[in-house]
A and B are shown apart, each in its own frame.
Chain A
Amino acid sequence: MMKRPSFAIYGILGAFVLGSAFPFYWSFLVASRDNSVLTGDFTLIPGGNFWTNAVRVFDTVPFWKALGNSFLVSGTVTFSVVLLSTLAGFAFAKLKFRGRGVLFLFVVATLAVPTQLGIIPLYMAMAEFGWAGELEAVIVPNLVTAFGVFWMRQYLLDAIPDELVEAARMDGCSLWRAFWHVALPAARPAAAMLGVFTFMQSWNDFLWPLVVLNADNPTLQVALEKLQSGYYVDYSLVLAGTTLATVPVLIVFLVLGRQIVAGVMQGAVKG
């Protein structure tokens, strides 16, 4: 039996975790105060003005619309990335076809390509399609990722025995049905993780939504930027906005934190 570590280790880790959590608390702290208390004598006890400030957020930016837009965009993107990655990942992991090696090499090679740098032609295309300001503009350019295909392929390689696909084919199962009834159920754990990560990434996306969306139809991140970009920054207002925007993320983290930790650690071993 390994011995339990000393208190010093718990102390250092505890300090690190407190430091990790502190900015969230600080955001709530400033948001709960009155704007007149901006002097240097800080206190760690919240004031009673949070709801007043939150209501001012709702009056300043279309917060609920932004929240709904963020859910719609991230949900659609996640659905598409998970489905198309599992489909392609299954083919790369378990099916034999001419050109498989070369095509997969292409996927691996593009993993690191900074596609974000292509925003100028994307912007021209969106203007051409009349999508500027519309949610299509932030959904369509994110429908697939090379990482997703790579991740699903690595997982399915071991998760499905080759004999299972063969057996399904012998029974006269089409490949589509084999995908639907064999691969998809087997892929569930990895697909769930890919889903969580894709959702978070899409939720946090900022540069591109800032380019194509406007203040009337924003995602949550763009709405926060609009709150902050006034000539004079009213911090109790702005940080009420960031606190409100953080709440859904914290709920997700409390519910799925265990899986997110496992996902990060597995990604490291497989990647």
Chain B
Amino acid sequence: MTATLSKVDRGREQASLPRPPRRYRMSNLDAKVSPYLFVAPFFVLFIAIGLFPLLYTAYVSLFDWEIGDDDPLFIGFENYSTLFQDDQFWNALFNTFSIFLLSSAPQIVVAIVIAALLNANLRARTGWRMGVLLPYVASLVALTIIFGNLFGPQYGLVNDVLGLIGISPIDWQASTFGSHVAIASMVNWRWTGYNALIILAAMQAIPKDVYEAALVDGASALRRFFSITLPLLKPTLIFVVVTSTIGGLQIFTEPKLFEPSGGSGGGAEHQYQTVVLYLYQSAFQGFDLGYASAIAWVLFMVVIAVAGLNFFLTRRAVK
């Protein structure tokens, strides 16, 4: 093998040269084979633990497959036709989108404002940046439990504070809209600072002379922000929106732990059950792996479609 490889090479490039030393032939083989060996561990593992399970999910979704089932029954697309008539699924999809919209839209607006403030010539710059990033490093499980307490229906702090300004207590867990607001506020609290730093980085990459030119032309600060900063942030905003879409549609931890007794129904009326929570409940409490796989596969399609749509819309909106 070694001989063939080096012969071909010599034939092509070094026909007139004498036979190269053995070390060189070894290194020639090294140059050909090593790159593949370097990337192979990633590809082998990624396909085995990432892609294959995802694709195999589509296969499982075609069966009536219970946990521990040795001989699952092939039923074609029956899981899908059941799913599309399943009110609980549509409800979960609605909840997921509702929570996603309540979290992503305000979050991006506030993140842009915070980024603009951080972009001022602050004292103790790094300290402020660390301050806004604090929620990002916190454990999501711990935070969700803490927020569950803050939004507690009886003695929660949020209701106490609302009481001070004369608003009667809201049962955050029981109502659809209330629970969505509470869950969205967890998402917002965690990610706004992180996104602000990403946007800040993009703001700092805008060349200074563009602003100087506008300043000479007498453009106001507000005008400079809307006519220069915002359009130049476009690629970053697309990135932020697309990543938050992919994460947001798979939201699980927050709705799972918002229900205190360890249930997976997303509340008594499933008022805050999201799609991944329904998937979890179907697979690991209902033991119906085939049906849960159909949920996973439909959600996969939704994520791809919405991320694509988002990409398209954000590109047009911020022009």
Contact = CB atoms under 8 A, between A and B. Distances in A.
Bind each other: yes
Interface of A: 2-5, 9-10, 12-13, 16-17, 19-21, 23-24, 26-27, 30, 38-40, 42, 84-85, 87-88, 90-92, 95-97, 100, 103, 106-107, 110, 112-125, 127, 140-144, 146, 149, 169, 172, 174-176, 179, 200, 203-204, 206-207, 210-211, 220-221, 224-225, 228-231, 233, 235, 238-239, 241-242, 245-246, 249, 252-253, 257-258, 260-261, 264-269, 271
Interface residues of B, number: 97
Nearest to B120: A5
Contacts of B53: 115, 118-122, 125
Contacts of A27: 142, 146, 149
With a 10 A CB-CB cut-off, give which of B30, B193, B201, B246 has the most chain A CB atoms. B201
A91 B157 CA distance: 54
Given A4-B123, A249-B137, A84 B236 contact: no
B142 A242 contact: yes
Contact of B193 (A20, A121, A203, A233): A20
A-B interface, 3 closest residue pairs, ranked by CB to CB distance from nearest: A229-B262, A118-B53, A17-B131
A207 B120 CA distance: 40
A9 B120 contact: yes
Interface string B223-265: 0000000000000100100110010001011001100111000
A147 to B, nearest CB: 11
Given A87-B42, A146-B46, 11 more contacts: A5-B121, A10-B122, A17-B128, A84-B42, A110-B51, A143-B45, A174-B34, A200-B137, A207-B276, A246-B138, A264-B197
A245 B142 contact: yes
B118 to A, nearest CB: 7
A191 to B, nearest CB: 15
24 contacts: A2-B121, A23-B138, A23-B150, A84-B42, A91-B34, A115-B54, A117-B279, A118-B50, A169-B27, A175-B38, A176-B30, A176-B34, A206-B253, A207-B276, A231-B261, A233-B260, A235-B152, A238-B149, A239-B149, A241-B142, A246-B138, A246-B139, A260-B130, A261-B129
Nearest to A220: B139
A84 B38 CA distance: 8
A207 B198 contact: no
Contacts of B123: 4
Given A206-B141, A261-B126, A26 B146 contact: yes
Interface in B19-38: 23, 27, 30-32, 34-36, 38
Interface string B109-151: 0000010011011110010111111111111111101111110
With a 10 A CB-CB cut-off, give which of B31, B53, B140, B283 has the most chain A CB atoms. B53
A265 B141 contact: no
Contacts of B122: 5, 9-10, 13
A28 B292 CA distance: 38
B278 to A, nearest CB: 13
A179 B149 CA distance: 51
A264 B194 contact: yes
B35 A100 contact: yes
With a 10 A CB-CB cut-off, give which of B114, B149, B262, B293 has the most chain A CB atoms. B149
B250 A114 contact: yes
Contact of A13 (B32, B43, B114, B252): B114
Contacts of A122: 49, 53
Nearest to A4: B121
Contacts of A88: 38-39, 41-42
Nearest to A117: B296
Contacts of B132: 13, 16-17, 20
B201 A268 contact: yes
Contact of A265 (B120, B201, B283, B289): B201
B142 A110 contact: no
Contact of B130 (A26, A114, A261): A261
A243 B304 CA distance: 37
A13 B118 contact: yes
B20 to A, nearest CB: 12
A249 B137 CA distance: 7
A97 B51 contact: no
B307 interface: yes
B183 interface: no
Contacts of A110: 46, 50-51
A103 B197 CA distance: 31
A9 B38 contact: no
B201 A144 contact: no
